[in-house]
Amino acid sequence: MRTWRVGTFSMGASLLLLGIYLLLSQIAGMEISHILMSWWPIILVVLGIEILLFLFFSKQEKPYLKYDILSILIVGFLGTIGIGFALLSSIGVVDRVAVAIDKEDRTYDLPAFEQALKEDIKRIVIDSGNNPLTIEGTNASEVSLFGTYRAATAKNEKLITAPEDYVNTNVKGDTLYVTLKGLPNEATGMFDYYGMMSAVVLIPQDVKLEVIGNHNAITLKPRELMSDWSIDKSSNTNIQLEANSNVKIVAANIDYIEGNQDGWQIKKKQKTEAVDDDGYYEEPNTGIEEAIFKNGDGKHQIHVTNSSEVSLKTVH
């Protein structure tokens, strides 16, 4: 005569139901995490029903429960996994990990930004943020901004959907202030995501421009410049001048001039050795104190300060 051990039926029923769930998930396209979170309570229901049935059908006056230890361990293991998934889901870990796994590097277009300039605007100040920036001169009386950004996102997910998501403007007196915002960075456990934006700004050639960098690359294409531009704190400044332009470039407190240095008047910093307040030796102060390049009669100027590198290219 067979002995009914509690747990045997529960394990068989649990495995059967789990198999049915997994099969349906393949047909319906459900995620495995959702299955484990929704399926595990059935284990407790099945095990409870089995105990009640044993007590009800037992012919003994005082029934003594006998357990199938291996089956109970398997059922307990499956239940623990389900409870664990439920707990992690309740604090958002499962969803964040699922999103992280689904992310891929994708490139999107920036929503185009345009702002017409009133006649009283004589100066534009751009805070370029951390991303590379290209600035071109234009004969239009408006500021335009476009480009691309690259980020790790889920399918059909966009970090930027409108111009105000990446650029902010304010008008104070005769000055237009333009601030480029950084892309959101996300950390999910061991996963870190950093976006990169590459923007192009079109600036009227007859308006004074000041650019505040943050150790990022800045490319200048002034074309027929009719005002003064200044760039501060860029990692490297690339300047493309038209051969017939009348521009004077003044670079101060930079590390070096990239490429051909013909036509530059360079004054290097004096090498000085010093000891700091704590008595430690400091490296000699090297670099370029000032470098001047003149194209044409140099009617308008481009000032570059506190940059690691300045490169110049003349285009025809």
- What are the structural domain ranges in the chain? 8-91, 106-315
Instruction: List the single range of 16-25, 120-129, 284-293 with lowest mean pLDDT.
Output: 16-25
The answer to whether the Cα torsion of 231, 232, 238, 244 is positive or negative is: positive
pLDDT single digits (tens) 165-188: 999 999 999 999 999 998 776 655
User: What's the half-sphere exposure (Cβ side, CA atoms, 13 Å) at 295?
Assistant: 23
Query: Could you count the other beta carbons within 10 Å of the beta carbon of residue 152?
Result: 18
The mean pLDDT of 85-114, rounded to a whole number, is 71
Query: What pLDDT does residue 278 have?
Result: 64
Pairing of strands 133-138, 196-204: parallel
Compute the average pLDDT of residues 291-300.
91
How far is it, in rounded angstroms, from Cα 213 to Cα 128? 5
| Its pTM surpasses 0.75 | no
pLDDT at 144 over 90: yes
Tokens of 10: 């529960």
Alpha-carbon distance of 231 to 125, in angstroms, equals 10
Render pLDDT for 119-137 as a digit per residue (tens, 0 to 9): 899 999 999 988 899 999 9
Q: Is the dihedral of CA 89, 93, 99, 102 positive or negative?
A: negative
Q: Rounded CA gap, 223 and 225, in Å? A: 6
Residue 1: predicted pLDDT: 43
Query: What Rg value do the Cα atoms of the chain yield, rounded?
Result: 34
Using alpha carbons, select from 204, 244, 202, 201 the residue that is nearest to residue 226: 204
| Other beta carbons within 10 Å of 129 | 20
